[in-house]
């Protein structure tokens, strides 16, 4: 081959069949990111080397060689998975009236409990549904969710005992009914437990989480958390709102001191009016959130013990190991209706529990033989086919596969159509920048749980490639 | 720390995708899910621990003291 021919075949960034590489300011003193948005390939390069790297044929050839592999990986992650979990509401009722709840108040006040017999019938149907598609030695998950699932405690505890060989069970509870008997029952059966608490002090939590009559539940949840100390599989959700932003750092300190293994500091979902009323600005949220993350890192250095902030860990994973994500909100299409789905207390099927109460997203009923059919309904397909490429301005955003434009339910209720971005676009951008700054500084392992990469293998490592070259 | 870092950093890992979490609930470890790690009940774990009877106490005494302060303040 002549030199001229060789030069013609040489990849050029952002031209022809060369890789599309977008430079991104990540707010780091020394590094800038280069991202191939379609495949979520990323590299961090010292700012004074950017021009050299983007013109470096060896680097560009490496990126091009891996492009198909990365694209296939993303395609499988986005469109090739089958459901393996169900979020199951065994009751419509809740004993709390949290200001931002995404479920209608009338439902939570006056709704029904699913009967024990109906719960068993539904779980039998789910067992049969999951059986053909689950990998060997793996079991589908059933997460009892709410409203408050422990309002229907007898039925779900009976079901956990009866179906213990068929499912891995979890429960998300507000913690107020989690007495010693419940804790012993759930932990002895290895049920994963999620609780909710919004502040380090009662006066903060009470702003958003309280009973219908306005009474505080903060201390009861703290007592449950203290009783769970040492259990390996529980987590705490703290919903970040305008009411508790300035206390997120203190919240991290409290949860770490209680030896909570995992928490989420979730931006409030703005699906209903209540959430919108306590919506913080993206800028304020990002500042408070990253301060809290900084504090979790300091506490790790001081004690050697991690408090994993799972929603942030998931953004890190979206960058360094996209398929290792545990949360499926920050990928598009989101996990709703394809990795998991939701069943309400009447047996109605929804892509995700966030849609419960929104009639247009009901895909059928588990008691009507609609389970397989629901995945082909427009209710489900409008979620399972919602790619960031269909959303303005996400289609042009280099962060699009690190964020996924969550959430379709929120977008639908905010904008009247799920083909819009949800709330907090600026916050999600800042999360990705913060994650990349950590990677630039070599600190990402401190934010991920031990053993996170035990089942992974490396498909790209520039240092190794350099040595080979 | 950054002064010792490479001029270019880039890596990627992969595995079988099995994420099922959402913003209302998360289960992080695959091992807990597929049963390859057998978790102990709280009661069983407490029997393993000396003294205070709670698992973190022996390994993290300073954190326990901090916790008691915060918990007391909060209640």
Kindly determine whether residue A190 and residue B32, on different chains, have CB atoms separated by under 8 Å. yes
Distance in angstroms (rounded) separating the CA atoms of residues A344 and A447: 34
Kindly determine whether residue B8 and residue A44, on different chains, have CB atoms separated by under 8 Å. yes
Q: Nearest chain B Cα to A220, which residue?
A: B75
How far is the alpha carbon of A275 from chain B, nearest alpha carbon, in Å? 14
Kindly determine whether residue B2 and residue A259, on different chains, have CB atoms separated by under 8 Å. no
In percent, how much of chain B has pLDDT > 90?
16
Residue A12: other Cβ atoms inside 10 A: 13
Distance in angstroms (rounded) separating the CA atoms of residues A432 and A437: 9
pTM score: 0.90
Tell me the pLDDT band of B66, cut-offs 50, 70 and 90: very low
* Strands of the sheet with A308-309, listed across from one edge: A308-309, A262-267, A234-240, A192-196, A168-172, A141-144, A85-88, A340-343, A349-350
| B-proximal residues of A, 90-119, CB under 8 Å | none
CA distances in angstroms from A129 to A83, A140, A152, A340, B17, listed in the order given: 10, 10, 24, 12, 20
Between B11, B17, B35, which is nearest A320 by CB?
B11
Task: Kindly state whether B21 is in contact with chain A, defined as any CB-CB distance less than 8 angstroms.
Answer: yes
Task: Kindly state whether A191 is in contact with chain B, defined as any CB-CB distance less than 8 angstroms.
Answer: no
Tell me, what's the pLDDT at A85? Answer: 95
Q: Are strands A168-172 and A192-196 parallel, antiparallel or unpaired?
A: parallel
Task: Kindly state whether B61 is in contact with chain A, defined as any CB-CB distance less than 8 angstroms.
Answer: no
Between B28, B31, B34, which is nearest A262 by CB?
B28
Tell me, what's the pLDDT at A272? Answer: 86
At B71, give phi and psi (nearest 5°). -65, -40
Task: Kindly state whether B53 is in contact with chain A, defined as any CB-CB distance less than 8 angstroms.
Answer: no
Tell me, what's the pLDDT at B52? Answer: 42
Domains and CATH numbers, chain A: 6-79 (no CATH), 85-280 (3.20.20.70), 340-423 (no CATH)
Task: Kindly state whether A339 is in contact with chain B, defined as any CB-CB distance less than 8 angstroms.
Answer: yes
Tell me, what's the pLDDT at B63? Answer: 34
Per-residue pLDDT of chain A (469 residues; tens, 9 = 90+): 445 545 557 889 999 889 999 999 999 999 999 999 999 999 999 999 999 999 999 999 999 999 999 999 999 999 999 999 999 999 999 999 999 988 888 889 999 999 999 999 999 999 999 999 898 888 999 999 989 999 999 999 999 999 999 999 999 999 999 999 999 999 999 999 999 999 999 999 999 999 999 999 999 999 999 999 999 899 999 999 999 999 999 999 999 999 999 999 999 999 888 999 999 999 999 999 999 999 999 999 999 999 999 999 999 999 999 999 999 999 999 999 999 999 999 999 999 999 998 989 999 999 998 899 999 999 999 999 999 999 999 999 999 999 999 999 999 999 999 999 989 999 999 999 999 999 999 999 999 999 999 999 999 998 644 444 3
Distance in angstroms (rounded) separating the CA atoms of residues A245 and A284: 8
How far is the alpha carbon of B50 from chain A, nearest alpha carbon, in Å? 13
Between A135, A194, A324, which is nearest B25 by CB?
A194
Between A188, A258, A324, which is nearest B67 by CB?
A258
Q: Nearest chain A Cα to B67, which residue?
A: A257
Distance in angstroms (rounded) separating the CA atoms of residues A242 and A284: 9
Tell me, what's the pLDDT at B58? Answer: 36
Tell me, what's the pLDDT at A8? Answer: 59
Residue A290: other Cβ atoms inside 10 A: 18
Between A222, A308, A310, which is nearest B75 by CB?
A222
Contact present, A397 and A426 (Cβ < 8 Å):
no
Tell me, what's the pLDDT at B30? Answer: 55
How far is the alpha carbon of B23 from chain A, nearest alpha carbon, in Å? 7
| A-proximal residues of B, 32-51, CB under 8 Å | 32-35, 38-43, 45-46, 49
* Strands of the sheet with A31-36, listed across from one edge: A22-24, A31-36, A41-46, B8-9
Preceding omega of A147 cis (within 30 degrees of 0): yes
Kindly determine whether residue B42 and residue A456, on different chains, have CB atoms separated by under 8 Å. no
């Amino acid at each position: 081959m002549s030199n001229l021919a060789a030069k013609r075949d040489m990849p050029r960034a952002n031209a022809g069949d060369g890789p599309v590489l977008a430079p991104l300011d990540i707010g780091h003193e020394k590094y800038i990111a280069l991202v191939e948005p379609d495949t979520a390939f990323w590299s961090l390069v010292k700012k004074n080397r950017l021009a050299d790297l983007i013109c470096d044929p060896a680097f560009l050839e490496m990126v091009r060689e891996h492009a198909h592999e990365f694209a296939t990986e993303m395609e499988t992650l986005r469109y090739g998975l089958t459901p393996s979990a169900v979020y199951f509401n065994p009751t419509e009722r809740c004993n709390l009236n949290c200001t931002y709840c995404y479920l209608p108040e009338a439902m939570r006040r006056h709704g029904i409990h699913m009967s024990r017999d109906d719960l068993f019938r539904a779980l039998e149907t789910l067992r049969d549904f999951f059986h053909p598609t689950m990998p060997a030695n793996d079991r589908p998950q059933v997460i009892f969710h709410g409203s408050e699932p422990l309002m229907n405690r007898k039925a779900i505890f009976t079901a956990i005992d009866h179906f213990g060989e068929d499912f891995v069970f979890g429960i998300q509870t507000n913690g107020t009914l989690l007495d010693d008997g419940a804790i012993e029952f759930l932990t002895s059966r290895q049920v994963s437990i999620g609780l909710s608490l919004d502040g380090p002090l009662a006066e903060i939590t009470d702003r958003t989480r309280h009973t219908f009559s306005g009474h505080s539940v903060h201390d009861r949840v703290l007592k449950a958390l203290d009783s769970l100390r040492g259990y390996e599989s529980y987590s705490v959700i703290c919903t970040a709102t305008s009411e508790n932003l300035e206390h997120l750092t203190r919240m991290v300190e409290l949860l770490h001191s209680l030896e909570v293994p995992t928490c989420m500091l979730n931006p409030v979902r703005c699906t209903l009016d209540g959430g919108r009323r306590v919506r913080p600005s993206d800028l304020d949220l990002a500042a408070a959130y990253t301060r809290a993350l900084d504090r979790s890192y300091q506490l790790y250095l001081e004690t050697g013990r991690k408090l994993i902030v799972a929603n942030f860990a998931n953004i890190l994973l979206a960058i360094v190991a996209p398929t290792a994500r545990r949360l499926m909100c920050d990928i598009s299409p989101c996990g709703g209706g394809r990795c998991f789905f939701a069943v309400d207390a009447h047996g109605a099927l929804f892509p995700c529990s966030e849609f419960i109460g929104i009639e247009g997203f009901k895909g059928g009923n588990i008691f009507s033989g609609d389970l397989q059919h629901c995945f082909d309904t427009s209710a489900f397909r409008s979620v399972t086919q919602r790619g960031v490429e269909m959303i303005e301005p996400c289609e042009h955003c280099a962060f699009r596969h690190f964020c996924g434009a969550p959430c379709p339910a929120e977008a639908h209720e905010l904008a009247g159509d799920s083909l819009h971005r949800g709330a907090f676009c600026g916050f999600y951008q800042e999360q990705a920048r913060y994650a990349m700054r950590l990677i630039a500084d070599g600190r990402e392992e401190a934010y991920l749980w031990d053993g996170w990469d035990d089942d992974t293998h490396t498909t790209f490592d520039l240092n190794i490639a350099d040595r080979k070259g | 720390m950054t002064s010792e870092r490479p001029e270019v950093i880039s890596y990627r890992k992969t595995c079988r995708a099995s994420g099922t979490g959402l913003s209302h609930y998360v289960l992080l470890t695959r091992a807990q899910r597929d049963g390859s790690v057998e978790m102990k009940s709280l009661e069983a774990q407490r029997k393993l621990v000396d003294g205070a009877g709670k698992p973190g106490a022996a390994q993290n005494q300073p954190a326990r003291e901090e916790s008691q302060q915060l918990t007391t303040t909060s209640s």
